[in-house]
Amino acid sequence: MPVTPDLFADEPMADSRPARVAIGEQACVLRGFALAAAPLLWSDIEAVARAAPFRHMLTPGGQRMSVATTSCGEWGWITDRRGYRYARGDPESGRPWPAMPSSWMRLAHDAAAAAGFDGFAPDACLINRYEPGTRMSLHQDRDERDFGAPIVSVSLGIAAVFLFGGQQRADKAARVPLQHGDVVVWGGVDRLRFHGVMPLREDVHPLLGAQRINLTFRRAA
Ligand code: MD3
Ligand code: FE
């Protein structure tokens, strides 16, 4: 068989609209939705991290998280020996979190709308940094006041395998590959499903290097 190099293996689909792939009744992947925005997102992330550096927070049980985190927006997600919660300021600096860029807010709003959730106005963006070997174990997101709002997640950098479980921790989890530029929206009946991320494989991304960054947009308060 002739070996034909696939010139377009890493290119977005030529089709103008990114594919919308349902992974639950009210959860879907918008493939490549953030691809065009990625270079600006990345330079904004670097600016946020200069003002509020990535850090490995402690779980309430005293374990250092392998994922490094920071936040922007009115509220930031934190954890320490006192518990998981949202805080108005960065506990490391005592200053407010950096503002959420308006282009990020628009992107999150438009992704939510494309998934059927109108009027999403996030007041928090948690920024997770994964290096090769880093994982996130199965958990639910329940620190937000109102579970009626969806959560929008943007994946950048090295690809990862997302674990999408059920309402109970023991429910079998589906494996969803997430690539640079993919956006996932969760809401309604899927809002409290258990989820996690498989250990990141060793790889180098042309824009971000040897890491994966995940932005999660939330309505915290
Ligand atoms: C699924 N982050 O920060 S995407 C988290 O890739 C988190 O960094 C992962 O889980 C990451 O809490 C996964 C975000 C996500 C957020 C909320 C969800 C996935 C969700 C709610 C229900 C189901
Ligand atoms: Fe989560």
pLDDT exceeds cutoff 80 at 6: no
Looking at residue 125, its pLDDT comes to 98
Ligand nearest to the CA of 216: 1
Check pocket membership of 163 for ligand 1, CB cut-off 6 A.
Answer: no
What confidence category does residue 2 fall into, taking pLDDT thresholds of 50, 70 and 90? very low
Nearest CA to ligand 1 atom 21: 191
Cβ of 128 below 6 Å from ligand 1:
yes
Query: Which pLDDT belongs to residue 18?
Result: 64
Give the predicted TM-score (pTM) of the model. Answer: 0.92
Q: What sign has the CA pseudo-torsion 112, 86, 142, 66?
A: positive
Statement: residue 15 has pLDDT above 70: no
Number of other residues whose CB lies within 10 A of the CB of residue 8: 9
> What is the pLDDT at residue 16?
56
- Which DSSP letter does residue 43 get? H
Q: Is 179 in the pocket of ligand 1 (CB under 6 A)?
A: no
What separation in Å is there between the alpha carbon of 19 and the centre of ligand 2? 23
Q: What is the model's pLDDT at position 1?
A: 42
Considering every ligand atom shown, identify the ligand nearest to the alpha carbon of residue 155 and give its number: 1
- Cβ atoms of residues 153 and 215 within 8 Å: yes
**Per-residue model confidence (pLDDT) at position 8:** 46
Determine if ligand 1 sits within 6 Å of the CB of residue 70.
Answer: no
pLDDT tens digit sequence for 144-189: 999 999 999 999 999 999 999 999 999 999 999 999 999 999 999 9
For residue 20, report the phi and psi dihedrals to the nearest 5 degrees. Answer: -110, 115
The 10s digit of each residue's pLDDT in 63-118 is: 999 999 999 999 999 999 999 999 999 999 999 999 999 999 999 999 999 999 99
Give backbone dihedrals phi and psi of 188, rounded to 5 degrees, phi first. Answer: 50, -130
- Comparing 2-16, 71-85, 112-126, 199-213, the range with the smallest average pLDDT is 2-16
Residue type (1 letter), 54: F
Q: How far is Cα 210 from Cα 24, in angstroms, rounded to an integer?
A: 30
Look up residue 75 and give its two tokens.
């509220």
Indicate the helix (H) or strand (E) that contains 151: strand 151-157
Confidence class for position 190, pLDDT limits 50, 70, 90: very high
Instruction: Output the pLDDT for position 7.
Output: 44
Residue with tokens 């103008």: 16
**Cβ(219) – ligand 1 distance below 6 Å:** no
User: Which DSSP helix (H) or strand (E) runs through 114?
Assistant: helix 102-114
pLDDT in tens, 19-67: 999 999 999 999 999 999 999 999 999 999 999 999 999 999 999 999 9
Q: Which string of b and e fits 178-214 if b means at least 16 CB within 10 Å?
A: bbbbbbbbbbeebbebbbebeebeeeebeebeebbbb
Amino acid identity of residue 92, one-letter, is E
What is the Å distance from ligand 2's center to 11 Cα?
A: 29
Please tell me the residue having the least CA distance from ligand 1 atom 22.
Answer: 191
